[in-house]
Amino acid sequence: MPMLVYTYFDFDGGRGEVARVAMHIAGIPFEDRRIPPKEWPARRDSTPFQAMPVLEVDGKVIAQSNTINRYVGKLAGLYPKDDWEAVRVDEVMDAVEDITTKIGQTMRIEDDAAKKAAREALVAGPLPRFLQQIEARLQAGGGEWFVENRLTVADLKCFYWVRWLKSGALDHIPADIVDKHAPLLAKHCERVKTQPKIAAYYAARGKA
């Protein structure tokens, strides 16, 4: 097993949580470097593409969250060996990344009225469509998991996005939007959350 150092923000969620939790699930030893958000501006220029997460593998650095998810997923046994199943995992992860980026763009809007309008526009069209299309991928996989009837990094990626939408933390995006437009994804979120190793991980962190 290579020596791994994983660097991401010091909170339980976001783009970097998938790989971090995948390594915990598989019992893969790694150094978990957690960066307080207030320190990020001073560190930004030292990272590839001015972004996190970043993974060091025996001293060599790779970046981009889904690239890291695929690599860690393979190490953890949470990524398919079959090429077709693997591309289905990639499709889900990239789709979630696309809509996450669209939501993230609204977080940079300082004017409250403009932010409200931007998020309401997402709620009126793009968000329900993405939810329904991703739910269709879940249905194609059997309704419980996206591929191979088991947990993969695609399930983790979707879980953290859906959990964020359901948290109520996003003003002007209804917390019930997932339940309303993609009830199978809402059930999927609970299914992932209650996986024994995931539940134990957050319980140990006082986040149960």
C-alpha angle 32-188-103 in degrees, rounded to nearest 5: 65
For the domain with range 4-77, which CATH number is right: 3.30.230.10, 3.40.50.10490, 1.20.120.160, 3.40.30.10?
3.40.30.10
* Tokens, residue 33: 């470097």
For residues 162-180, give the mean pLDDT: 97
Of 72, 70, 51, the residue nearest 5 (C-alpha): 72
Would you say residue 208 has pLDDT above 70? no
If one counts every other C-beta atom within 10 angstroms of the C-beta of residue 85, the result is 17
Q: Sketch the domain layout of the chain as residue ranges.
A: 4-77, 83-195
pTM given for the model: 0.96
Residue owning tokens 């996989």: 141
Q: According to the model, what pLDDT value does residue 149 have?
A: 97
For residues 152-162, give the mean pLDDT: 98
DSSP state of 4: E
CA distance 136 to 152: 17
Q: According to the model, what pLDDT value does residue 43 have?
A: 93
Per residue in 119-155, pLDDT tens? 999 999 999 999 999 999 999 999 999 999 999 999 9
Q: Taking the domain 83-195, which CATH number applies?
A: 1.20.1050.10
Q: According to the model, what pLDDT value does residue 83 have?
A: 98
